[in-house]
Structure formats: C-alpha cells, structure tokens
Chains A and B, each alone.
Chain A
Amino acid sequence: MGEWVRVQEEPFSVGAEIERLCRVSRTIGGIATFIGVARDLSAGRPVAALHFEHYGAMAEKELATLRDAAMAQFDLIGLSVVHRVGDIAIGEPIVAIVAAAAHRGPAFEACRWMIDELKKSVPIWKKEIGPDGASWVTPHP
C-alpha cells in the first residue's frame, strides 16, 4: 500500500489523513476534502447496500498515477486518496480525497479534478444491491 494512495476494505479516518498531511509541511494554509458517500438512491431506484470490486494491483497504480499528475498540475503540498472496496453500507464513506496547499484555490481544484479522473479510469466497479436484486453500475452490452 502506498503512503498517499490506498485501496482498502477497512473504513478510513478523514481526520487521520488530515493530521498526516498537516505533519508534511508548516507551509500548508488550507486543506480541502471530497468524501464520496454510499447513497440510498440510484437513478430513481432504492439501493440497500453497495459492493465494490477492484483490480488489485492496477487500482492503486492508477490512483498513484493520477495523484502524481495532480501534484504536478496543481500547486499542492500534499494529497491523500483512500478508496474502500468490498461491502459498504448506505451512509458510509466510499472515497476520501484530501488535498493540502498553501492556499485554498489549488486544494479545492485538486479535489474536483481527482474525483472526476478517478471515476474515469481507476479500475474499481460498483454493484448496487436493491430490493429487486443486484446490478453493476456498468451497463451490460
């Protein structure tokens, strides 16, 4: 597992990630977070629980590539990304993106960019479990 990029089954602590980032540098002036949470509704259908599958080695590798790109593109001091997999109950956090910078602008921008890119390319798949059965969010052919 990477120091700043992790895919794990266990719940994470956003507070712990913030504390870790604060220890990186005394030049940090702002930290922005994005937390993705398991919602009970998808496209109008009730969702009772979520299950996430991932491509073990590649998911962290791809997250690390995106993190490197964000560090290069935005004026950041630190960036931590944690994504959970396995079974996740409604209301639980799924992903945390925590960006630290000298000023708020790059921290907010990096969070937005990181979650948008994560949703495009990181090999993690969500299955929604509802009262009428379970289905991958990926549409079938």
Chain B
Amino acid sequence: MVSIHLFAGVREAVGCERVEAEVAAGTPLGDLLARVAADLPALGPWLARDDLLLAVNQEFRGRDHLIEDGDEVALIPPVSGG
C-alpha cells in the first residue's frame, strides 16, 4: 500500500488530500499514477502537465522511479511560495 498526497489545485480537483493504492513493488511511479487516474478522472489533466513534479518519500523523483510498498508519493503542482 502506498499513500499519494495531493495539494492545492490537485487536491481540490480530486476532492481529497490523500489516496491509498495497492501496488506491486518495483512498479514505475508513472504506471502507478496512470492506474490511479483511471479511477480518479480529475487527476488526468494534472498528470498530463509537464510542470507537475512528483516526490517519493519527500524527494523529487521522475516517473520512471520504482515504487516500494509503504512509499509516500506526492503530486506537486507548480509551487508558489515566497
């Protein structure tokens, strides 16, 4: 089981701040997210953006990063701090 954390516009579009998903160890992050988006269509447009950053266990990662059980995934839309 991995938890996928959603923030700001993504969180509001999907309507929740966290999604849980079962995943086989070694699944690429991009594949996991595509599968989750099949159940949550509101995620689709966000995943299609090339400015959406991804993090695994609070480190920025690419879509080819391999997921392990218990990982904390986060979808990070363009940030606007400062």
Contact = CB atoms under 8 A, between A and B. Distances in A.
A9 to B, nearest CB: 14
Nearest to B60: A121
A95 B79 contact: no
Interface residues of A, number: 29
A138 interface: yes
A103 interface: no
Interface residues on B, range: 20 to 34
Contact of A124 (B9, B45, B55, B80): B80
B81 A124 contact: yes
Nearest to B44: A141
B10 to A, nearest CB: 9
8 contacts: A55-B55, A58-B55, A58-B58, A118-B82, A119-B81, A123-B76, A124-B79, A125-B7
Those 9 A-B pairs whose CB atoms lie nearest each other, nearest first: A124-B81, A125-B8, A141-B45, A137-B80, A58-B58, A126-B80, A136-B9, A119-B82, A138-B77
